[in-house]
Amino acid sequence: MISIIIPWKNRPELGQTLIDNLPAFAHMPELELLVVNMGGDQQQLLTLLDTEHCQHLTIKVVHILTTFFNKSFALNWGIHHAAHDTIFVLDADVVLSHTALNELYHQVSDTHFANLESVAESLPQNSSNFYQQCQTRTVLTLPIGTQQPIEVLVNQSSLSNDLRAAPGLLMAKKQHLLAIEGFDSKMTYWGWEDLDLVVRLKAKLNLTQTLTGNATHLTHDDSTRNLGNLNRTQSDHKNFTYCLEKYASAQFLGSLYKDTCNQFEQYVSVHQHR
């Protein structure tokens, strides 16, 4: 039914995240978890997964033997090894509402993909109800696609940023992700790999995006993000500029087949966790 892909590198909160997501997982009769460890400590990951709470889950572990982390590269290997025909991308620090997976699944079809509608912070700022209800909304209109300009919801958030859109928490048919060749690993560090996927699903396949369901993000600072020597604004802008250049040249394919080709197989091991 659903393969859930979680990219990971030394994020200890994964163990608690899996436990807290068990009620959401329980709503789906057939579910596979793929944890893609790119550059992380293998023993730490296995310890996090080796709890009695997760014993009944079907967990596939993909180890990519590198020292660096590239989220798109990791997700492409997850898609490559996914057993089910529907795929959901989940972060190691996101707890879904009990009904979120079920809501998303019933929106995905041959013509639609779905994103979570909103994510709240686990440690919200102290702000009034007025500020929580005030919303900022950024929509990017791109003159691309086969029919009409593509509109992409870049961000929608409360003024305190404690409630926002979730473009990276996406569910789609595996066949659609393969048709656009997954994520683009030429984007390094942080930002835009998720929005780029949304753009290409719309522009290349004319799919419709649906927003439904909600989740909670386990609040953390930027020290856990993959930013290199950049800050979030610099990293995001770098990837955004790269994407605009692609779209202007009508390039709407990712790097999945390049990332999962034979030359990289020697650095990847896959096993079924107990």
pLDDT attached to residue 248: 93
Q: What's the full length of the chain, in residues? A: 274
Q: Quote the strand ranges of the chain, DSSP E.
A: 2-8, 31-38, 58-64, 86-89, 94-96, 112-121, 135-142, 150-158, 163-173, 208-217, 268-273
pLDDT the model gives residue 262: 79
Structural domain spans, the chain: 2-273
Identity of the residue numbered 137: R
Ranges 91-95, 138-142, 212-216, 218-222: which has the least confidence: 218-222
pLDDT > 90? residue 182:
yes
- Interatomic CA distance for residues 11 and 174, integer angstroms: 26
Mean pLDDT along residues 222-239: 70
Q: Which pLDDT value is given to residue 146?
A: 66
* For residues 69-77, average pLDDT: 95
Highest mean pLDDT among 91-105, 178-192, 229-243: 91-105
Task: Among 141-145, 179-183, 191-195, 219-223, name the one with the lowest average pLDDT.
Answer: 219-223
Render pLDDT for 32-42 as a digit per residue (tens, 0 to 9): 999 999 999 99
Looking at CATH, the fold of the domain delimited by 2-273 is given as Spore Coat Polysaccharide Biosynthesis Protein SpsA; Chain A (3.90.550)
User: The whole model's pTM is what?
Assistant: 0.91
What are the structure tokens assigned to 190, written together?
């942080």
Contact criterion met (CB below 8 Å) for 104 and 28: no
Q: Compute the C-alpha angle 26/30/31, nearest 5°.
A: 75
Element (H, E) at 79: helix 71-81
244: left (phi over 0), alpha (psi -120 to 50) or beta: alpha
Write down the mean pLDDT value for the chain.
88
| C-beta separation of 177 from 253 below 8 A | no
Q: What percent of the chain has pLDDT over 70?
A: 91
Tell me, rounded to whole angstroms, the distance of Cα 236 from its chain centroid. 16
Distance from C-alpha of 143 to C-alpha of 141, rounded to nearest angstrom: 7
Q: Is the pLDDT of residue 223 over 60?
A: no
Q: What does the pLDDT average to over 175-187? A: 97
Task: Check pLDDT > 80 for residue 98.
Answer: yes
**pLDDT tens per residue across span 40-64:** 999 999 999 988 777 788 899 999 9
pLDDT band at 169 (very low <50, low <70, confident <90, very high): very high
